[in-house]
Amino acid sequence: MTDFSKVHYYRKQEQSAQPVKVKTDVCIYGASSAGVAAAVQAHRMGHTVALVAFGSRLGGLSSGGLGATDIGNKAAIGGISREFYDAVGRHYGKDKPQWIFEPHVAQKIFNEWIEECGIPVYYNQHLHKADVHAGRLARIWMENGNEFAADVYIDATYEGDLLAMAGVSYHAGRESNSVYRETLNGIHYGHPNHNFKAWTDPYCIPGKPDSGLLYGVADEHPGIQGQGDSCIQAYNFRICLSENPDNRFAFPMPPGYSPEHYELLLRYIHNGVWDAMRLNIRMPNGKTDLNNYGGVSTDLIGGNYDWPEGSYEHRERIFQEHLNYNMGMLYFLSNDERVPLNIRKEMSTWGLPADEYTDNGLWTPQLYIREARRMISDVVMTESHCRGSEVVTDSIGLAAYQMDSHNCRRIVLDGRCVNEGNVEVGASAPYPISYRSIVPKGEECTNLLVPVCLSSSHIAYGSIRMEPVFMVLGQSAAVAASISMAQQVPVQEVDYGLLQEELLRLNQILQFT
């Protein structure tokens, strides 16, 4: 059964009596898929590497539940990223890439890569402070006192924690459309997907505004289309479920369970719409990758605004709120007698797989951080790049997914619930990502690369933020780090001709034809 005591984002690390001091060529903070790709590539180029992981697992979301790869166009993916999906294919007995897989398969591949390279991984390392001298990161310290020094650093976290501590400019939230001359940024109404398809009353006592709002509904002004704000697109867990009776546990009641949290979902169901579990993509061995769908589902809209800049303790509280909400929804739909019998019967065919996350209470430790900090550098990727009306000349890889933002707010309009912020607009074609978007401004930090929280507007990041692309950018960042060290120049002054030549040699796809 699920042991919820094991499911955490953060547990404080006490000061070590004998902290380690590590000096390497490259220090990668964050063991996301981008971090693993960067570590492997740096090692292949002959460099010493330290992979410093916040948690206790490798691979981030790629091994944390997102087994149904969001990709857009598979032809846009090359290099180490392609190697990963080739390895998945081989695991399942195929001689071609496989893009849908079980979480433990991804973790096995990442672990094997790191072990084969002999790359030291330092787990459960929580960034505490950084020494920045004359525009260079000199060393970073962890909460437990461990110290890491390197010639070049790569921030491969989903939050951009290292870039922030290094004093690099960033933005969190949605920019106004006017900032980068966009049309899909900021407050956004108009996209019907993931919104209410039936009138649903938001008040504790239907029809009575003075009774208060149901859980998950915010008392906010609707705002103006295109207006910027500090809201963050919703997080959830990509939940691995099993329909195999011999490999599943019934959904348990989480410790913070409150049936009142699902009153809005219940009303929506009674209004004739049952789609909260619709977006589950089948994976091998009777499993599925469950994502958010419709008006009320696994996204905890509005529950994540403080995550990007929150303390570790505050993030832990947010993590537990998402865990309780997601697991509680599954338990509610399976057990609450107010839920129609046909839905409860449908839910009873699913459970938590007994063979996934066995060291973590059968639940993924990776919250889906769809967006947090985004660096602001000399080149900001925007809607114009996604649409192909502006094309960069220093490509380090391609993005191919649609401009995709999950909802940012759930509010009341004319007495009914409305979700706001959903955008799903296709990119014109796979488009190049600028090298300058993964390096800070030269006056801020000269030996840091940022392949995950890169320089991008909210709406463009919704297209770029896919796991295969993060692996592409992680590998390209490691190659740039190697050239920077060889040329003894800041990362901003890396010879792009050399970088391009090396990336092409490594089968990175830089232009789409």
CA dihedral 377, 383, 387, 393 (to 10 degrees): -10
Higher pLDDT, 431 or 70: 431
pLDDT of residue 191: 82
Torsion of CA 160, 162, 167, 168, to 10 degrees: -40
CB atoms within 10 A of CB 169: 17
For residue 57, with 0-12 CB atoms within 10 Å meaning exposed, 13-18 middle and 19 or more buried, which class applies?
A: buried
Query: Burial of 18 by CB count in 10 Å (0-12 exposed, 13-18 middle, 19+ buried)?
Result: exposed
Residue 465 has phi, psi (to 5 degrees) of -75, 45
Helices (H), 275-351: 312-335, 341-347
pLDDT digit string, tens, across residues 454-472 = 999 999 999 999 999 999 9
What number is the average pLDDT over the span 267-292? 95
Question: Which pLDDT score, from 0 to 100, does residue 219 have?
Answer: 95
pLDDT of residue 163: 98
Q: What is the mean pLDDT of the chain?
A: 97
pLDDT score of 78 more than 80: yes
State whether the Cα torsion 462-463-468-474 is positive or negative: negative
Sign of CA dihedral 76, 405, 179, 378: negative
The stretch 42-55 carries a mean pLDDT of 98
Give the confidence band of 20 by pLDDT, cuts at 50, 70, 90: very high
Residue 412 zone, left/alpha/beta (φ > 0; ψ -120 to 50; rest): beta
pLDDT at 1: 66
Position 192 scores a pLDDT of 83
Task: For residue 36, give the nearest of 15, 23, 53, 56 by alpha carbon.
Answer: 53
Whole-number Cα distances in Å, 158 to 34, 59, 308, 359, 363:
10, 12, 9, 22, 19
Classify burial at 108, counting beta carbons within 10 Å of its beta carbon; exposed 0-12, middle 13-18, buried 19 or more. Answer: middle
- H-helix or E-strand containing 251? none
pLDDT band at 513 (very low <50, low <70, confident <90, very high): confident
Beta-carbon contacts of residue 140 (< 8 Å; ≥ 6 apart): 27, 29, 127, 129, 130, 131, 147, 148, 153, 162, 165
Nearest to 383 by CA among 237, 213, 184: 184
* pLDDT tens-digit map of 183-232: 999 999 988 889 999 999 999 999 999 999 999 999 999 999 999 999 99
Provide mean pLDDT across the span 171-182: 98
**Interatomic CA distance for residues 466 and 468, integer angstroms:** 6
